[in-house]
């Protein structure tokens, strides 16, 4: 009986192809919207997470000043000293390494090509805190670091622009007024979420940068690696206590430095994008329900319009349940068809939008299955009422219907 009903439903859909298309339009748009929104939302979350992961997890960033936007007025808080770095590295439990950073910018020149870039002066600890594999060459040695030699490791963007993508290791180029030997090139990291191009950088021993570019021993930024077995919050408060003491901040006065926990930022941003995804998905889900009501509308109109047909079927000997099942199956087939078309359209839209939004292309089988299942359920729920109405018709009245 079910096979017959399915055949009848398919014939009926084929006979009214335009009406069928209009019926499912709402479901197509609803399913398409839900799948697109959820997939893009998840892709954005994943992109944010991977960008933060690139900054390194379990890393504390310590800067002078009171955090974003609150440093205005008063004298500029002092930078850190190499002694601060040693103190944190040796006195705090759970710290694996502390990398001081001194930054400068300069124009790099090589055989007529020039490129404006950022110089990042640091120590070998930098690569320990935040692993960054080399594409070629080597890291600097301890004697080179201690002597502050003008050796540098360059990011891929600098290599592309200065050396035209050719071999750079072993070459010598001019960085501002300084002649500099390339000893290594870094692997590509790509765009950072909020820091621009991470590969546009020249990394040198901090002493070289301090002596030849910034002209002071000041350290603007410390990266502290935290052992996986320790809570970053505990390490953070220990460092706060130590630095307050070293910077002679009396009780009751605010810190003149700030410590950022990258994990905390990661959690916050992930939470935000997840919440946004949910909101957008909820809006899209409303359109799915509206689509279901659309199906019910058209099916009800269809029952009225096909009253005589129903009368013929009843006269021929269809029992009420067969008429009910036919209309129900029609509604479910239509809504499932709408769901499938919606899924296909969603994939096309996602494929088109991911490069524009700069998020990775993903296929989430779960949301696709859920959206399809919902479209089937909508068919049953919103198809039942019109179907029951059709089945309840009196054959004599139905046959007389104009």
Partner 1 sequence: MASDAASLIALRNVTKVYGQGATQFQALKGVDLDIAAGDFVAVMGPSGSGKSTTMNILGCLDVPSAGTFLFRGHHVETLDRDERALLRRRYLGFVFQGFNLLSRTTALENVELPLLYRGDEKRARRATAMAALEKVGLDRWWDHTPAELSGGQQQRVAIARAIVTRPDVLLADEPTGNLDSERSVEIMELLTDLNRESGITVLMVTHEPDMAAFARTVVHFKDGLVERIETQHAQGEKVS
Which residues sit at the interface with partner 1, rule CB under 8 A? 1, 4, 7-8, 11, 15-16, 308-309, 311-322, 395-396, 399
Q: Which residues contact 391 (CB under 8 A, 6 or more apart)?
A: 320, 321, 323, 324, 327
> Closer CB to partner 1, residue 320 or residue 351?
320
Tell me the closest approach of the beta carbon of residue 313 to partner 1, in angstroms: 7
Least Å distance, CB 312 to partner 1, is 5
- The SS3 assignment for 251 reads coil
Cβ 393 to partner 1 shortest distance, Å:
11
With both helix axes pointing from N to C terminus, report the angle between 307-316 and 262-305 in degrees, rounded to the nearest 10: 70
Which run of H or of E encompasses 116? strand 113-122
Give least dist CB 4 to partner 1, A. Answer: 5
Burial class (CB in 10 A: 0-12, 13-18, 19+), 250: exposed
290 near 26, Cβ under 8 Å? yes
Alpha helices in 139-187 (DSSP H): 142-147, 156-162
d(CA 200, CA 20): 56
Residues 335 and 375: beta-carbon distance below 8 Å: yes
Query: Please, which residue, 97 or 303, has the CB nearer to partner 1?
Result: 303
Output 9 or 201, the one with its CB closest to partner 1: 9
The nearest distance, CB 326 to partner 1, in angstroms, is 10
> Which C-beta is closer to partner 1: that of 11 or that of 138?
11
Look up residue 212 and give its DSSP letter. I
Nearer to partner 1 by Cβ, of 227 and 322: the residue is 322
Kindly state the smallest distance separating residue 386's Cβ from partner 1, in Å: 19
Q: How far is the CB of 302 from partner 1 (least distance, A)?
A: 13
Nearer to partner 1, 11 or 278 (CB): 11
Burial class (CB in 10 A: 0-12, 13-18, 19+), 295: buried
Name the residue nearer to partner 1 (CB basis): 93 or 316. Answer: 316
| Least spacing, CB of residue 401 vs partner 1, in Å | 11
Q: Which residue has the tokens 């600097």?
A: 140
Query: Which H helix or E strand runs over 105?
Result: strand 95-110
Please give the DSSP secondary-structure letter assigned to residue 255. Answer: P
Question: Please, which residue, 218 or 322, has the CB nearer to partner 1?
Answer: 322
The smaller minimum CB distance to partner 1, of residues 7 and 357, is found at 7
Beta-carbon contacts of 130 under 8 Å, excluding residues fewer than 6 positions away, are 55, 56, 59, 99, 223, 225
The distance of closest approach from Cβ of residue 11 to partner 1 in the complex, given in angstroms and rounded to an integer, is 7
For 13, 20, 280, the CA distances from 17, given in Å and listed in that order, are 6, 5, 32
Residue with tokens 């919103």: 382
């Amino acid at each position: 009986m079910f096979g017959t009903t399915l055949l009848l439903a398919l014939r009926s859909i084929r006979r009214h192809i335009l009406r069928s298309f209009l019926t499912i339009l709402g479901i197509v748009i609803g399913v398409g919207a839900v799948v697109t929104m959820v997939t893009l939302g998840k892709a954005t979350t994943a992109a944010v997470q991977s960008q933060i992961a690139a900054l390194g997890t379990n890393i504390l960033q310590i800067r002078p000043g009171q955090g974003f936007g609150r440093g205005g007025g008063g004298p500029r808080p002092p930078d850190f000293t190499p002694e601060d770095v040693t103190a944190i590295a040796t006195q705090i439990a759970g710290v694996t390494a502390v990398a001081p950073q001194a930054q400068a910018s300069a124009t790099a020149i090589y055989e007529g090509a020039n490129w404006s870039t950022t110089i990042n002066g640091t120590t070998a600890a930098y690569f320990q805190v935040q692993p960054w594999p080399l594409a070629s060459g080597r890291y600097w040695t301890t004697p080179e670091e201690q002597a502050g030699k003008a050796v540098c490791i360059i990011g891929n963007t600098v290599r592309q622009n200065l050396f035209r993508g050719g071999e750079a290791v072993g070459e010598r180029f001019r960085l501002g007024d300084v002649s500099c030997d390339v000893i290594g090139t870094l692997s590509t990291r790509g765009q950072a979420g909020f820091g621009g191009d991470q590969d546009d950088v020249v990394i040198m021993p901090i002493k070289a940068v301090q002596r030849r570019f910034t002209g002071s021993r000041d350290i603007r930024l410390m990266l502290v690696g935290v052992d996986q077995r320790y809570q970053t919050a505990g390490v953070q408060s220990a460092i706060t206590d130590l630095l307050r003491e070293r910077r002679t901040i009396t009780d009751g006065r605010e810190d003149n430095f700030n410590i950022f926990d990258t994990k905390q930022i990661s959690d916050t941003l992930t939470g935000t994008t997840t919440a946004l995804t949910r909101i957008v998905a909820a809006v899209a889900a409303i359109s799915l329900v509206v689509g279901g009501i659309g199906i019910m509308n058209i099916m009800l109109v269809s029952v009225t319009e096909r009253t005589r047909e129903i009368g013929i079927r009843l006269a021929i000997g269809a029992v009420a349940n067969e008429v009910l099942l036919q209309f129900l199956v029609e509604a479910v087939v239509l809504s499932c068809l709408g769901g499938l078309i919606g899924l296909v359209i969603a994939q096309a839209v996602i494929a088109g939008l991911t490069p524009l939004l700069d998020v990775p292309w993903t296929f989430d089988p779960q949301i696709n299955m859920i959206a399809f299942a919902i479209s089937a359920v909508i068919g049953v729920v919103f198809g039942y009422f019109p179907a029951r109405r059709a089945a309840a018709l009196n054959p004599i009245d139905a046959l007389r219907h104009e």
